Amino acid sequence: MQADTLVVRENGEHRSTAPHVLPIYATSSFVFEDISQGIEIFKNIESGHVYSRYANPTVDAVADKIAQLESFGSDHIPYAVMTSSGMAAISTLLMGVLKSGDKVLTQGDLYGGTTELLKSVLGNFGVETIFTDLKDLAGTELLLRTEENIRMVYCETPSNPTLACYDIASIAALSHQYGALCAVDNTFATPMLQKPLLVGADFVIHSTTKYLNGHGNSIAGVVVGFDRDLMRGGVWKAMKLAGTNCSPFEAWLTSNGMKTLALRMERHCSNAMKIAAFLSEHPAVERVNYPGLPIHPDHELAKKQMSGGFGGMLSFELKSGMEGALKCMDSLKLCTQAPTLGDVDTLILHPASSSHLAVPRETRIENGITDGLIRVSVGIENPDDLIADLDQAIRK
């Protein structure tokens, strides 16, 4: 072998013992021992990695941990597919299980991106979305009974940004009664506080960008489910063919962040409760949305289906409306204005002018997303510092 050939060739692995931390498998493809192995892997006779768009050891390890978290306490075998973002997770799920002519039944107070995806993208491919109040179980049952071709009931609980909670077990039971699938976006609660699969949901979706990673340095998503045929068939196939796969580096960053998930969620929850209590007594605040408060309309439901806390997300409405909300945002000194959530530091967002800008105003107002509403992703800082910053900004 000549030197110019040697420099091109891989020199093999020089690992003598197992790594303590998950390695990043930064490779686009994998090598077969011989043609027979390649044929067997492509025919699914033998399992093995082929191409990182299909599967990757780093990504698989992280997906498996998330699946285990969502199914913790169950004897069922979970399956997970990681994607390039939370929106990619939602898109991949919908592409994987829906077809033209199918309908999705969902709530009005969804994350704005999900609403726009359902209406502006899925609608172009013949998938109709029906918006309803999923808290009205009788009305939900009526739609499932009378509307043909409802293939999926899609739920987000607690919802973004009003923190409304929906009865997962009842919605899942109704879905299955009429032959529909039930999917739940569990991003706000995380599997540390809520496990939708264990009460009947067919799928759980996360933007792992948020709490699972928790440090604002990775964008990824995941779909988890128990049904092997749906997960390994439709969902994985949609990920593979649409190219919505997660990169090994993003998965690795998610893995690192998840190691402190339990500790972080404890602090997020306790801080959010203290701040929600403070805001609920502030004379300039019209209302506070936090399921941990006894005054929250869904408090009893949240107590029933969430455990270990009520999450780190809250929102509050200022009596001074849009003008007051924008001035408050610009007066903050410690809290950061950023269009994301779930980081270790406190992040503030004005939904009407950002995340829900594309949602018609009448739809926003109808679902409690008013012009004066401010969303807070409560971090793990000292809560007294956060309260002082919010107080001085609100007073201005």
Active site residues: 53, 111, 185, 210
Alpha carbon distance 231, 204 (integer Å): 11
**Which H helix or E strand runs over 79?**
strand 79-83
Alpha carbon distance 64, 313 (integer Å): 26
Alpha carbon distance 290, 273 (integer Å): 8
The 3-state DSSP class for residue 394 equals helix
Q: Are 82 and 220 in contact (CB under 8 A)?
A: yes
Alpha carbon distance 205, 26 (integer Å): 25
Rounded to a whole number of angstroms, the distance between the first and last alpha carbons of the chain is 75
Alpha carbon distance 60, 255 (integer Å): 11
Beta bridge mates, 221 = 83, 207
Q: Are 103 and 87 in contact (CB under 8 A)?
A: no
C-alpha 224, offset from chain centre: 11
Residue 172 CB neighbour total at 10 angstroms: 23
Alpha carbon distance 243, 245 (integer Å): 5
Strand order in the sheet with 79-83: 79-83, 221-225, 203-207, 181-185, 150-156, 103-107, 128-132
Sequence-separated (6 or more) residues with CB below 8 Å from residue 273: 290, 292, 309, 310
The 3-state DSSP class for residue 122 equals helix
